[in-house]
Amino acid sequence: MNEPFDAVDVIRAKRDGHELSNEQIDWVIQAYTRGIVAEEQMSALAMAIFLNGMDDREISRWTKAMIASGKRMDFKSLGKPTADKHSTGGVGDKITLPLAPLVAVFGVSVPQLSGRGLGHTGGTLDKLESIPGWKANLDEEKIMQMLGSGSGAVICAAGAELAPADKKLYALRDITGTVDCIPLIASSIMSKKIAEGTSSLVLDVKVGSGAFMKDRKMAAELARKMVTLGKDANVNTVALLTDMNTPLGLTVGNALEVRESIEVLAGGGPRDVVELTVALAREMLAGVGKTDVDVEAALKDGRAMDVWNQMIEEQGGDPHTTLPTAPARHTLVAQEDGYLTRLDALKVGVASWRLGAGRARKEDRVSPVAGIELHAKPGERIIAGAPLLTLHAEDESKFDRALESLQGAVEIESTKPELAQSVILERID
Ligand code: URA
């Protein structure tokens, strides 16, 4: 086949700070998916984009080209609205687990096509796989059956045919230092979400030490770009900027986070996890026109738990099983009296990863039991000798490296810190 462009010309154009034409973008994404543009050429182009950016037209076209590289799903035949949530990734972020069944209580389909964790942020599928028997890989027929006549919610792996260009490109960015680039993140996330065919989408854009975006202005810019891409594709999209300087909730790690999610579904759970779950559920429901709903009641009266139980069973898991627990534990205690002023999300995330909860390479196994339990959150009064963190692992050999990464993670001071009451920083629509 005669190619209309030469990859080197496209790379040079972006390297020299020029805009790429629609035709160049369509071609480069399509040719990369076909293997005509080589990995090393795409990595040079990704770095040129990282350094010189893309304007709104280029980002929009790049997103469309990635959607066109694969299949689009369509939930219209279900005859009910669909709502979805995407988080840019954080530490202790188990929100999808209670959120999907909670929203499904109100007659909305919730197709949560999720990913596995890489680096210090955990993946939703890794968490759920700590439930013995639970399966992440479902075919389209099963997904449609669960959404249509089953529980109404499904959390499963995104199939290989959904935005395959992004799958290849994301793996490449991960090993070429080109992940944290707003045009590439926005197009990566939104190509998958638009191809998934949801009618409404809520983006949870994390800001802080444990997030991709450390800086609030950058996070707001990313959120705005994604909201625009969603709206342009007729997906009702809003974003919440939420704090990720401290881990969410009191657990980080796979089975530990499932346990905490079940507490939330039983009407309890940590205040920040409940606050964010309820806020995101309200946004998802409002996005499909359901504003007159009592979301909290569905957590308190067991309706969300009923949907969870059914959803787990439909995917091969036993919702009443005992979750696995770690044979090795190590507790860190406070050295002094005072107030906990900081508990750094990134350091806790890296420590949990080193304990075995995350993977360094795609093919690594994750431990279902590894992770960290927090005994206190910033703002709380602490007395010397009180437990602060408990490390969980499959064996004690993991503790030294994890403890190294926790150096400086905890700060205790004599005066009570002034802390924001809410994890939600801003709403962008
Ligand atoms: N998540 C994605 O799916 N893509 C990115 O580029 C970053 C986070």
Clarify whether residues 15 and 144 are in a common domain.
no
Atom of ligand 1 nearest to the CA of 173: 6
* Whether 11 and 132 share a structural domain: no
Expressed in angstroms and rounded, the spacing between residue 192 Cα and the centre of ligand 1 is 10
C-alpha 271 to ligand 1 mean position (Å): 28
Look at 37-51, 107-121, 197-211 and tell me which has the smallest mean pLDDT.
107-121
Which DSSP helix (H) or strand (E) runs through 31? helix 22-34
Distance 207 CA to ligand 1 centre (A): 14
Among residues 284, 314, 344, the one where a domain terminates is 314
Range of the domain at 17: 7-53
Q: Give CA–CA dist 426/84, Å, rounded.
A: 19
392 in a domain, yes or no? yes
Q: Are residues 184 and 94 in the same domain?
A: yes
* Whether residue 214 sits in one domain with residue 179: yes
pLDDT value at position 409? 97
What is the Å distance from ligand 1's center to 152 Cα? 26
Q: Which of 188, 199, 209, 261 is catalytic?
A: 188
Residue 188 annotated in active site: yes
pLDDT of residue 107: 96
Same-domain pairing of 270 and 231: yes
368 and 287 together in one domain: no
Strands 200-207 and 410-413: unpaired
Query: Do 150 and 280 reside in the same domain of the chain?
Result: yes
Residue 388 lies in a domain: yes
Same domain, 257 and 196: yes
Q: Hey, which of 85, 185, 205, 213 would you mutate to test ligand 1's pocket, going by the most ligand atoms within 8 Å of its Cβ?
A: 185
Q: Is 170 in the pocket of ligand 1 (CB under 6 A)?
A: yes
pLDDT of 118 higher than 70: no
Q: Is residue 421 part of a domain?
A: no
Contact 375, 389 (CB under 8 A): yes
* Domain CATH number, residue 397: 3.90.1170.30
For residue range 279-288, what is the model confidence (pLDDT) as tens digits?
999 999 999 9
Asked which of 292, 314, 336 is the last residue of a domain, the reply is 314
334 and 251 within one domain: no
Judge if 38 and 89 occupy the same domain.
Answer: no
| Pairing relationship of beta strands 328-333 and 200-207 according to DSSP bridges | unpaired
Task: Tell me if residue 270 falls in helix, strand or coil.
Answer: coil
Contacting residues for 237 by C-beta, under 8 A, at least 6 apart:
200, 201, 202, 203, 226, 227, 229, 230, 231, 287, 429
Mean of pLDDT over the chain = 95
- pLDDT reported for residue 356: 95
- With a 6 Å cutoff on the Cβ, whether 189 touches ligand 1 is yes
Residue 427 lies in a domain: no
163 domain residue, yes or no: yes
The predicted structure's pLDDT at residue 212: 87
Nearest residue (CA) to ligand 1, atom 6: 185
pLDDT for the residue 122: 74
> Per residue in 366-409, pLDDT tens?
999 999 999 999 999 999 999 999 999 999 999 999 999 999 99
For the segment 58-75, the average pLDDT, to the nearest whole number, is 96
Nearest atom in ligand 1 to 179's CA = 6
Residue 389 lies in a domain: yes
Judge whether 195 and 187 are in contact, CB under 8 Å: no
CATH number of the domain within which 16 lies? 1.20.970.10
Residues 296 and 229 in one domain: yes
From 67, 113, 179, mutation site for ligand 1 pocket: most ligand atoms within 8 A of C-beta: 179
Domain count, the chain: 3
341 Cβ partners below 8 Å, 6+ apart?
378, 411, 412, 413, 417
Question: 196 in a domain, yes or no?
Answer: yes
Tell me, yes or no, whether 303 and 347 share the same domain.
no
Spacing, Cα 122 to ligand 1 middle (Å):
13
- pLDDT for residue 370: 97
- DSSP sequence for 201-214: EEEEEEESTTSSB-
pLDDT top residue among 364 and 27? 27
Query: For ligand 1, is residue 87 a contact (CB within 6 Å)?
Result: no
Using DSSP's 3-state secondary structure scheme, residue 126 falls into helix
Residue 398 annotated among the catalytic residues of the structure = no
Query: What's 261's domain CATH number?
Result: 3.40.1030.10
**Number of Cβ atoms within 10 Å of the Cβ of 233:** 18
State the pLDDT at residue 174: 82
Q: What is the pLDDT of residues 315-355, one digit of tens each?
A: 999 999 999 999 999 999 999 999 999 999 999 999 999 99
Query: Is 428 domain-assigned?
Result: no
